């Protein structure tokens, strides 16, 4: 099994925990209103603001830079969604939750200076967006009749998710990290999942 396969196996239970958060149940079951959905979009805005700042910093890194795919950039889509879902005054009406602030603090701590740390956080978000994100988008369209408006975050125009994921896994399979660095990477992916799970837990309380 290549490294990409190992990453997936090693974090299978972390993924299961993230995926089974009550917030997703309510969201995908159509039990929230548009503000309940917008609450997720807002928290993701704060995450991607920092993550994509880190990407700009890491672009020049010989290893981490290869993972910076411009076509995956999510911040403009999140801004468009927030404008649609909340209105032009959205910046005054959203704030990072405690869990999201912790997530951002970890990103600032590792993703700007440690290439494998950046890739760990990048992988956890973007590969998820290209995978489960597609399932979520279809469910949202159905549950809330959004017809594509307000769900730009889940859309990657001109991108073939399967092809990008394949390329991404090839890159992971060829990273020049030694065994110690690979373990540190796996730990950071696991932490990234837990930070996402905590963010979703906070969201579950907000919309309960
Ligand atoms: C309702 C919520 C979710 C659903 C339905 C879902 C579903 C899926 C599915 C079906 C795959 C496999 C796709 C494939 O084999 O190509 C996948 C992969 C993935 N998901 Fe999720 N997911 C959810 C939540 C999350 C969350 C919250 C995260 C983390 C932020 C996440 C991160 C990932 C990652 C990183 C992968 C790629 C694993 C790999 O192949 O290396 N997912 N997801």
Number of domains forming the structure of the chain: 1
Q: How many CA atoms lie within 13 A of 108 on its CB side?
A: 8
pLDDT given at position 173: 98
Show the 3-state SS of 120-182.
Answer: HHHHHHHHHHHCHHHHHHHHHHHHHCCCCCCCHHHCCCCCCHHHHHHHHHHHHHCCCCCHHHH
* Residue 133 binned pLDDT confidence (cut-offs 50, 70, 90): confident
130 CB under 6 A from ligand 1?
A: no
* Residue 134 binned pLDDT confidence (cut-offs 50, 70, 90): confident
15 annotated among ligand-binding-site residues: yes
123 annotated among ligand-binding-site residues: yes
C-beta separation of 97 from 199 below 8 A: yes
Q: Is the pLDDT at 124 greater than 70, yes or no?
A: yes
164-180 pLDDT tens trace: 999 999 999 999 999 99
Choosing from 9, 19, 120 the residue with most ligand 1 atoms within 8 A of its CB, the one to mutate for a pocket test is 19
Nearest one of 3, 201, 185, 173 to 111, comparing CA atoms = 185
First to last CA, the chain: 42
Show the 3-state SS of 190-202.
Answer: HHHHHHHHHHHHH
User: In CATH, what number is assigned to the domain containing residue 139?
Assistant: 1.20.910.10
- Residue closest via CA to ligand 1's atom 40 equals 8
* Residue 142 binned pLDDT confidence (cut-offs 50, 70, 90): confident
- Residue closest via CA to ligand 1's atom 36 equals 128
Atom of ligand 1 nearest to the CA of 125: 30
Rg (the chain; Cα; Å)? 17
169 annotated among ligand-binding-site residues: yes
Q: Is the pLDDT at 35 greater than 80, yes or no?
A: yes
197 CB under 6 A from ligand 1?
A: no
Nearest one of 24, 37, 43 to 199, comparing CA atoms = 43
Range of the domain at 176: 3-207
How many whole angstroms separate alpha carbon 38 and alpha carbon 78? 10
pLDDT given at position 157: 87
16: phi then psi, degrees, rounded to nearest 5 = -60, -40
* Residue 141 binned pLDDT confidence (cut-offs 50, 70, 90): confident
How many whole angstroms separate alpha carbon 159 and alpha carbon 178? 32
Q: Is the pLDDT at 147 greater than 80, yes or no?
A: no
Q: Name which residue leads in pLDDT, 132 or 92.
A: 92
């Amino acid at each position: 099994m290549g490294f990409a396969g190992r990453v997936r196996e090693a974090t299978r239970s972390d993924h299961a925990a993230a995926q089974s958060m009550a917030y997703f149940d309510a969201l995908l079951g159509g039990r929230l209103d548009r503000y309940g959905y917008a609450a997720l979009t807002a928290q993701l805005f704060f995450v991607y603001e920092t993550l994509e700042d880190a990407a700009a910093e890491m672009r020049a890194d010989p290893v981490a830079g290869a993972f910076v795919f411009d076509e995956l950039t999510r911040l403009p889509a999140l801004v468009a969604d927030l404008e649609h879902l909340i209105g032009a005054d959205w910046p005054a009406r959203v704030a990072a939750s405690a869990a999201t602030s912790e997530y951002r603090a970890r990103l600032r701590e590792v993703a700007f200076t440690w290439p494998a740390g950046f890739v760990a956080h990048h992988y956890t978000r973007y590969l998820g967006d290209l995978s489960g994100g597609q399932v979520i988008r279809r469910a949202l369209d159905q549950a809330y009749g959004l017809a594509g408006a307000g769900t730009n975050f889940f859309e990657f125009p001109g991108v073939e998710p399967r092809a990008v994921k394949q390329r991404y896994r090839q890159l992971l399979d060829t990273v020049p990290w030694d065994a110690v660095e690979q373990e540190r990477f796996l730990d950071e992916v696991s932490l990234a999942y837990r930070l996402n799970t905590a963010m979703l837990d906070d969201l579950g309380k907000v919309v309960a």
